[in-house]
Structure 1
């Protein structure tokens, strides 16, 4: 069950409910007891609309699976009702949309694709004591402000960067250490800027010198000058961190400008683990590697999700996966608290040891709002597929590094 909300429809619905309550209160009480409202706040319009729409799809699949399995059993089999709000790819709208979710009566919510949106929504939700399970929001500020309502389920920029660099070192050493220099291209928001800072600090420690760092806004329409700067740097490897539209344009420009690279090694690359990018830009995408969010493809629930996504004609992206898993975490908290009370939901999430999600994680453990048992994986585009190459226990293919030279 899914409801899309805006303020006008909410006011109309509230008026109708008030009128009905005077006539048939017992039936309304029964209807309320039969459902529990969970929110999802995502950018459904604006430059991040593709990612946000994918996240909502993932949340819907999770709700359908949970409801089909009997709903929240500790609450008498209550069915989850998903309440969807549009962040419009703008932080100020994301903050305002929290008010709408509160008025709709959600017990917790998930979202919101980008760190800038998540920073705004978590702050807005704090004044209502409303829990947000952050599905995608890697900026460390997300969990450094001491907000008790914030629960970041997926790994942040520090962990993703640490894992990515450890794996890059292993790959490079295994190939005889051909990569000596790197160029960094990043979006200029909290996500990309934080990543670039860490990379500049840590890459020399694994024997790779940073010879160029280039930032750009989101959206950015032309990457030709950026590609030329990368080419002039003579970097062996390009490490990009940006969103899907910019990543795609960047990769095309790199190819058009004939920039010679040993590898494109992304960290939280917006398109590098995205099947849409693979499908629409197949030649450009080959051998691109990424360290990013991804599910465990061996779990039965993951297999079922992949089948449902295919049947729906949608792309199987990490957005779908993490939104699905975030709803699973909220449902587990509901099951344990046996209540949709906001305070009890925060308490239940803070004590979470959930180990049934589709992600390749250990049991959930939130420390200062950060799930310390989350982990990213490395993927690589091969042919028309996205293969897992690290960690080995989840791998579906061996990594190819450096990428083969064309011709």
Structure 2
């Protein structure tokens, strides 16, 4: 795994030239040059306030690279090994675009990752200038794949896809309990991610029979959520639906616990901490019972357990960033295999027209629509139960039944 910075540049090694030279010299097979490594870029926030997500993503991506290389590499290229180059977006959009430029100069054939919507928007735009295929991992803004960029694809679900699933499951959850929840407070970070989800919720929830008492926004990063929770205490909503990143989610949940704000449920959509075992391990009381509709690996896939074990072996806590970035690398490698060349245009064409596996994500086959969105992407609903993050919806992936209402 090679870590990129804005100042790092790498020389592009052309495997075909090396192989031709070896053949001309008539060297024995065992002495001939190995095929040139195929370079895949991974853009993640390796520093800054989102660094935890980038760290977990890199573990999943490198796991996939090691797995592919151990199995013989890219067979269509004579067993060429994959080399992972990591670009640090530094948790901001401008640095993300700069790292795309560095990865381009390093000679990557494709880039995966992005994580945050704002970073992914600028990064994919930068990649488009070089006709560099970019496979977004977990960034959810609909607009990422709505700009007619031929190079841009997304593995996971977007805002609209995820909120549709989340709301269907919320109705199912509420009906099974006798429809006790009638009022909702929305809490969201004020960036593209949180504001976009809040807008969709504001449009959809009233038509489903829920009254939105208030929509509360907050900056990211935030160091205190006392005012937000005091407002929730005053409103007394049946449900709190938050959309924010890890630190803010933890702050809100801990403050709610301290101030004894106990709604029937905290039902997150892309909850930054609700699908992280760090939150569960460090703040078990605040985490217990929290729902989330989020990216999550297929719990019946044995590799998902292996990824979790790999993360824990490093003394870290598992979250969705690991399985989805494992899957991003697997899809990109399959596209290179199908293309039969480490050629950007050929890889883009395969991503545009072919079908792929989905790594450990619960998508069945991955197929990108005309806008580059994976039409089979599916979030899973989870709930923290007795210190474990269990899938509760849909039924074919469920590990347990939901507990609702959680409080009162």
Offset at residue 9 of structure 1 (A)? 3.8
Q: How does 1:197-276 map to 2 (within 5 A)?
A: 197-276=199-278
Partner Cα separation in structure 1 for residue 350 and residue 85 of structure 2: 21
Partner Cα separation in structure 2 for residue 357 and residue 53 of structure 1: 19
Partner residue of 2:126 out of 124, 127, 133: 124
Q: Find the counterpart in structure 2 of residue 65 from structure 1.
A: 67
Q: Find the counterpart in structure 2 of residue 374 from structure 1.
A: 377
Partner Cα separation in structure 1 for residue 61 and residue 208 of structure 2: 39
Partner Cα separation in structure 2 for residue 134 and residue 169 of structure 1: 30
Offset at residue 190 of structure 1 (A)? 1.1
Partner Cα separation in structure 1 for residue 277 and residue 71 of structure 2: 29
Q: Find the counterpart in structure 2 of residue 22 from structure 1.
A: none
Q: Which runs of 4+ in 1 moved over 4 A?
A: 29-32
Q: Find the counterpart in structure 2 of residue 20 from structure 1.
A: none
| 1:146-193 superposed Cα distances (whole Å, 9 cap, x missing partner) | 101111000011011000000000110110100010000001111111
Please provide the CA RMSD for this pair: 2.0
Q: Find the counterpart in structure 2 of residue 44 from structure 1.
A: 46
| 1:228-275 superposed Cα distances (whole Å, 9 cap, x missing partner) | 111111211100000001110011111122213000000000000110
Q: Find the counterpart in structure 1 of residue 396 from structure 2.
A: 393
Q: Find the counterpart in structure 1 of residue 151 from structure 2.
A: 149
Q: Find the counterpart in structure 2 of residue 166 from structure 1.
A: 168
Partner Cα separation in structure 2 for residue 62 and residue 7 of structure 1: 25
Q: Find the counterpart in structure 1 of residue 16 from structure 2.
A: none
Partner residue of 1:332 out of 327, 331, 334: 334
Partner Cα separation in structure 1 for residue 285 and residue 262 of structure 2: 15
Q: How does 1:102-141 map to 2 (within 5 A)?
A: 102-141=104-143
Unaligned runs of 5+ in 2: 14-19, 25-31
Q: Given that residues 161 and 195 in structure 1 are in contact (C-alpha distance below 8 angstroms), is that contact kept between their aligned partners in structure 2?
A: yes
Unaligned runs of 5+ in 1: 18-24
SS of the residue aligned with 1:386? strand
Aligned length: 396
SS of the residue aligned with 2:366? coil
Partner Cα separation in structure 2 for residue 163 and residue 66 of structure 1: 33
Offset at residue 309 of structure 1 (A)? 2.8
State the TM-score, normalized to the length of structure 2: 0.93
Quickly say closer, same or farther: Cα 1:14–1:80, change in 2 above 3 A. closer
Q: Given that residues 52 and 112 in structure 1 are in contact (C-alpha distance below 8 angstroms), is that contact kept between their aligned partners in structure 2?
A: no
Q: Given that residues 34 and 77 in structure 1 are in contact (C-alpha distance below 8 angstroms), is that contact kept between their aligned partners in structure 2?
A: no
Partner Cα separation in structure 2 for residue 261 and residue 231 of structure 1: 9
Partner Cα separation in structure 1 for residue 354 and residue 383 of structure 2: 32
Q: Does 1:5 align with 2:4?
A: yes
Partner Cα separation in structure 2 for residue 230 and residue 404 of structure 1: 15
